[in-house]
Amino acid sequence: MEYRNVGKWGLKISEFSLGSWLTFGSELDISEARKCMKAAYDSGINFFDNAEAYAAGLSESIMGMILKEFKRESIVVSTKIFWGGNGPNDIGLSRKHLFEGAWNSLKRLQLDYVDLIYCHRPDPNTPLEETAMAMNDIVRSGMALYWGTSEWNAESLEKTFNICSEYRLVPPVVEQPQYSLLFRERVEREYVPIIDRYGIGLTTWSPLASGVLTGKYNEGIPDGSRLARHTGLKKHLEESGLISESNISRVKKLQKIAKDLGTTSATLSLAWCLKNDSVSSVILGVSSVEQLTENLKALNLKERITDDVFDAINRIFPL
């Protein structure tokens, strides 16, 4: 396991990390979640990602009970604030919700601080100045060591860095975007000037495009699969065009390359993500220890992705 700096900053996190979206509290109870977290830690993973919105807070509560079994200094824990409830001040990035969301997350996680706290989405109803000032104060108060954003566009990030410079605020150090062979544009084009100018890191999510890159949806949606269990996710993928004849055709071509390498399209897709030096960590979402073990095979595969293999993959999934 390689440990990468979060951008230009000193914090080091494992190149693979374990996230809890769609799993902790929905698919995994505390017993199964503990098995996955311990297996992840034993494999070298030191970064665990969560959010106040995951399973309406239950995901954080489950993770919090398990985190007590780890030495705090040996792990990096993150959470994200935006969707905290149904009240008028329970959603968004106002100073009120950011502070109350952070306090509630820390209670559920049973921690004095998180290492990283993200603004889970941009909030058009709150001035960037208010959000940046609140995040600065959260970091300076000790509730979090660093702050970042998730799925913000480059224009908003540029404005945020300018605000932080003008008001002498702690700047964001990390962005958490979706990134996979089917989602390349934002990371590989839009963010490049921001990464170069400000040295932010990237902790990327959905590296398998919600399972599409595994090939398991090539012939439809199998009973018992994640898409079959999560109708909202299925609707999102269908509306976004991820499950399309064109993409399925590309996945089948990827499977041929993977077969020649003696691996699977899933493992190859994960290894491809790791090849991007701008990525600090690729967040895995697993439903079992067996699935985690399978995903971690990408660690050994990444060195076998030669320039020729890399170019062949990129011809199938052009930017």
Is the distance from CB of 25 to CB of 62 less than 8 angstroms? yes
> Percent of the chain beyond pLDDT 90?
91
Examine the pLDDT at 236 and tell me if it is beyond 70.
Answer: no
Under the banding of pLDDT at 50, 70 and 90, the label for residue 230 is: low
Q: What is the pTM of this model?
A: 0.94
Examine the pLDDT at 181 and tell me if it is beyond 70.
Answer: yes
- Give the pLDDT of residue 220: 74
What distances in angstroms separate CA 235 from CA 25, 219, 238, 246, one per listed residue?
Answer: 21, 17, 5, 18
Round the average pLDDT of the chain to a whole number and report it.
95
Closest among 178, 199, 174, 198 to 188, alpha carbons compared: 178
What mean pLDDT comes out for the span 60-84? 98
Is the distance from CB of 116 to CB of 148 less than 8 angstroms? yes
Examine the pLDDT at 84 and tell me if it is beyond 70.
Answer: yes
Choose between 298 and 235: higher pLDDT: 298
What distances in angstroms separate CA 165 from CA 100, 123, 170, 255, one per listed residue?
Answer: 26, 21, 8, 47
| Calpha distance 101→53 (Å, rounded) | 10
- Give the pLDDT of residue 243: 83
Active-site residue flag, 54: yes
- Give the pLDDT of residue 63: 98
Is the distance from CB of 268 to CB of 258 less than 8 angstroms? yes
- Give the pLDDT of residue 226: 67
Examine the pLDDT at 232 and tell me if it is beyond 90.
Answer: no
Closest among 23, 83, 92, 34 to 59, alpha carbons compared: 23
- Give the pLDDT of residue 93: 98
Closest among 62, 64, 78, 105 to 18, alpha carbons compared: 78
Examine the pLDDT at 231 and tell me if it is beyond 90.
Answer: no
Is the distance from CB of 161 to CB of 196 less than 8 angstroms? no
User: Per residue in 199-228, pLDDT tens?
Assistant: 999 999 999 999 999 999 887 777 666 666
User: Per residue in 107-162, pLDDT tens?
Assistant: 999 999 999 999 999 999 999 999 999 999 999 999 999 999 999 999 999 999 99
Under the banding of pLDDT at 50, 70 and 90, the label for residue 241 is: confident
Is the distance from CB of 45 to CB of 292 less than 8 angstroms? no
- Tokens 């073990």, located at residue: 293
> Please, what's the b/e burial string for 160-186 (b: 16 or more CB within 10 A of its CB; e: otherwise)?
bbebbeeeebbbbbbbbbbbbbbbeeb
- Give the pLDDT of residue 252: 97
- Tokens 């994640």, located at residue: 226
- Give the pLDDT of residue 235: 72
User: Per residue in 259-315, pLDDT tens?
Assistant: 999 999 999 999 999 999 999 999 999 999 999 999 999 999 999 999 999 999 999
Examine the pLDDT at 229 and tell me if it is beyond 80.
Answer: no
DSSP-derived secondary structure for 231-269: HHHHHHHHHHT-SSHHHHHHHHHHHHHHHHTTS-HHHHH
Choose between 2 and 230: higher pLDDT: 2
- Give the pLDDT of residue 251: 97
Examine the pLDDT at 28 and tell me if it is beyond 80.
Answer: yes
Q: Which residue segments constitute the domains of the chain, with CATH numbers given?
A: 3-211+276-292 (3.20.20.100)
Active-site choice (3, 41, 54, 191) = 54
